[in-house]
Amino acid sequence: MTDQIQRFTFANLPIRGEIISLQNSFQQICEQHNYSPLVRHLMGEALAATALMTEIIKIDGKIALQLQSPAFLKLLLTECNHQGQLRGVMHTNDQISAKSDYQFDDWTQGGQMAITIEPEKGHRYQGVVSLDKNTLGECLQDYFTMSEQLPTYIKLFVSDDKVTGLFLQALPQSEDSPTTREQAFEHVTALAETLKTDEALELEHQDILYRLFHQDEVTLFPPKALEFQCSCSRERNEQALLTVQASELMSLVKEQNGQIEMVCDFCNKQEVFTEQHIIDLITNSPSSEQVN
């Protein structure tokens, strides 16, 4: 299993953690859009971060991470649901091709990050913070610290074909804990900072945790599989078309040589609707207009 996320806990420390690796889904998403190595780096970070948040927040639904800025990054949007299904898309300024290295703070200068939580049942929630840190991980750390009032550590590692992410968070302290929450968090984050990029990307999850925390009693839970899966469908496209007035739809069909082509921004899947398809769609709609 190359794409997976695992929870881990410390027996004697008020700390919880998650560790994630992405390979197949990361490569598939990047190859669909032919992203350059620099763009792949930020996409990889965002995909791992979104999957981590989905597992941490634990809802039946999906979580979306959206970054926008007036600088080089126009839009980055990644989504993950409770079933571990990921997708993502990114649009950058044309000047990005002139960049020789990846610098998160430079690419996102003056931008904002929105985290949207959409449960299948219940109300949608969105939190927005400024992109004013040096890394995406640091921006997310601030978000969790402010929203949950719990010290949080996030470190993301990316190569051309793989992503690894590490999440640590201090928990409310029990009265009989021998170590304070602050001491425990300082201890585990100091150890986490010693993890090198090649180790993070080459070692298995259990080996990474042993490398970092072999002096602590850590329990690693079974992995949860992650995969690329786009939620687009022909039915959703039909519903989108029905939001347009029938007369406008028919005019659009004639302008586009007898058919309407719709392309998913996430997976590049194309759906073609001929003039007859459009007529049938309008005719069978409960609120259909007369088609002439």
CA distances from 4 to 49, 57, 164 (A): 13, 17, 10
**Higher-confidence position of 271 and 47:** 47
For tokens 């005019």, what's the residue?
251
Q: Where does the pLDDT of residue 291 fall: very low under 50, low under 70, confident under 90, or very high at 90 and above?
A: very low
Average pLDDT, the chain: 89
Q: Where are the alpha helices (DSSP H) in 61-203?
A: 104-107, 136-148, 181-192, 197-202
Residues 269 and 224: their CA atoms lie apart, in Å, by: 27
Q: Where does the pLDDT of residue 89 fall: very low under 50, low under 70, confident under 90, or very high at 90 and above?
A: very high
Angle at 167 between CA 206 and CA 208, to 5 degrees: 20
**Higher-confidence position of 270 and 176:** 270
Nearest by Cα to 109 from 67, 79, 60: 67
Residue 175 has pLDDT above 70, yes or no: no
Q: Please give the model's pTM, rounded to 2 decimal places.
A: 0.86
- Does residue 206 contact residue 5 with C-beta atoms inside 8 Å? no
Q: What is the pLDDT of residue 97?
A: 58
Q: What is the DSSP letter of 156?
A: E
Residue 231 three-state SS: coil
Q: What is the pLDDT of residue 280?
A: 79
pLDDT in tens, 176-215: 666 788 899 999 999 999 999 999 999 999 999 999 999 9
Q: Which domains does the chain have, with CATH numbers?
A: 4-228 (3.55.30.10), 234-284 (3.90.1280.10)
CB-neighbour burial class of residue 147 (10 A; exposed 0-12, middle 13-18, buried 19+): middle
- What beta strand segments (E) does 11-105 contain? 15-22, 61-68, 73-81, 85-92
Count of beta carbons in the 10 Å neighbourhood of residue 256: 12
Q: What is the pLDDT of residue 99?
A: 62
Q: What is the pLDDT of residue 9?
A: 96
Residue at 64: amino acid letter: A
Q: What is the pLDDT of residue 111?
A: 93
CB-neighbour burial class of residue 272 (10 A; exposed 0-12, middle 13-18, buried 19+): exposed
